[in-house]
Structure 1
Amino acid sequence: MSQDNVEPDDENLFRQAIKGVKPLKQQQADTGKPKADRARIAASRARALTGNTSIVIDGLSDQFVIDVAPEEELMWGANGVQASQLRKLKSAQIPFDDSIDLHGMTVERARELLWAFLAEAVKQEIRCVRVTHGKAQRKDGRTPILKSHVNTWLRQHASVLAFTSCIPRHGGTGSVYVLLKRTMLEGRED
């Protein structure tokens, strides 16, 4: 409708309806939402980028790490693992078919590689592997970080039946033999 077609009564009614109304000073409508707290948003984004290191989707958690001494011998077996199996593992009577060395890696990198290594070993139906974590004898007297994490992670992994420190020629207390579950592929005779 153009202004030429506006009836005088309509124009008077309109002016009466808007009497006392002040023109807007801004061109944007107020949606009623509170202004964004830019500092809080920036902090939230920074936390998202660094990630939450206490719980990891791969299942290897750092929420509670069992501290171990540099020369401490490690030995653990899941429920149902016989003591005779642990003794055989400890004395290297169960040969390991693959090995990974985590020396000098960050905790995050070691976790990624260990998870991938164990997944591949299970996929290939390997019964026993060796994981070298090192002893990290620290001058400040603190516990070895990587050894403590590996000790904790292996206890959490669903495919790990048992682990124990190696004999000296295979790394001693700086390495562990890891006994893995096997699903026994179809047609396999052993």
Structure 2
Amino acid sequence: MLRASRSDVTPLPRLNQAQIGRPRPRPVPTQRLRDERAVLEDSLSDHAPWDSGFETGEELVFLRQGLPPHTLRKLRRSHWVIQDELDLHGLTSPEARALLVDFLNYCVRRGLRCVRIIHGKGLRSKNREPVLKHKVANWLMRRDEILGFCQARRTEGGGGAVVVLLKGQRGMMNAER
């Protein structure tokens, strides 16, 4: 009886058989991942991706594009009162960068306009060259809230410090300023 019931059955062609197994994984966009990683590494690098022209001799100078030149002149002549300062002497680059980011965020929250960042002259570093000086300058140029900076006056730290002008915050209460 079993044989009689199977006599008119024909096997399915291989093309009509369902494949049972795990579904294929979605393709990984490796080029997009590489591009995103490259952008992230570039944004975290210590080197300016452009020819910034911020350095004139040994003096660090930077003014955000579109601002009038007299802004830098005012900054050099201490037109704005230095409201706070950060000393990065003796720190490693990663420590200095983390502290600088925290300090700038604090300054923005408090509505500070002018601060001094002491990076040191590099007298105790290898080859007696400043390590943090150029890194601090590059880090500052990448921040939108930085309008400009220049080397501090000799009495304020000279070649071992920069005076930084930050964007002002509109609408803050005067008590917080």
Pairwise same-fold verdict (TM > 0.5): yes
Counterparts of 2:103 and 2:146 in 1: how far apart (Å)? 12
Larger radius of gyration: 1
| Structure 2: segments with no counterpart, 5+ residues | 1-21, 23-39
Deviation at 1:187, TM superposition (A): 5.1
Q: Is the 8 A contact 2:48 2:138 kept in 1?
A: no
C-alpha distance in 2 between matches for 1:128 and 1:140: 32
Conservation of the 8 A alpha-carbon contact between 2:63 and 2:147: yes
The CA RMSD measured in Å over matched residues stands at 4.1
Moved beyond 4 Å, runs of 4+: 60-66, 186-190
Give the count of matched residue pairs. Answer: 158
Q: Are residue 124 (structure 1) and residue 104 (structure 2) matched?
A: no
Match of 1:153 in 2: 139
Which amino acid in 2 is paired with 1:144? Answer: P
TM norm structure 2: 0.65
Counterpart-to-counterpart distance in 2, 1:82 and 1:105: 33
Q: Give the TM-score taking structure 1 as reference length.
A: 0.61
SS in 2 for 1:177: strand
The answer to whether the 8 A contact 2:75-2:163 is kept is: yes
Taking the TM superposition and a 5 Å limit, the aligned residue runs for 1:1-190 are 54-56=42-44, 62=47, 64=49, 72-78=58-64, 79-83=66-70, 85-137=71-123, 140=127, 143-186=129-172, 188=174
* Separation in 2, partners of 1:183, 1:139: 41
Per-residue CA deviation, residues 32-82 of structure 1 (Å, 9 max, x unaligned), is: xxxxxxxxxxxxxxxxxxxx86543xxx7546598x99x811111003243
Q: CA deviation at 1:86?
A: 1.1
* C-alpha contact (below 8 Å) 1:81/1:162 kept by paired residues: no
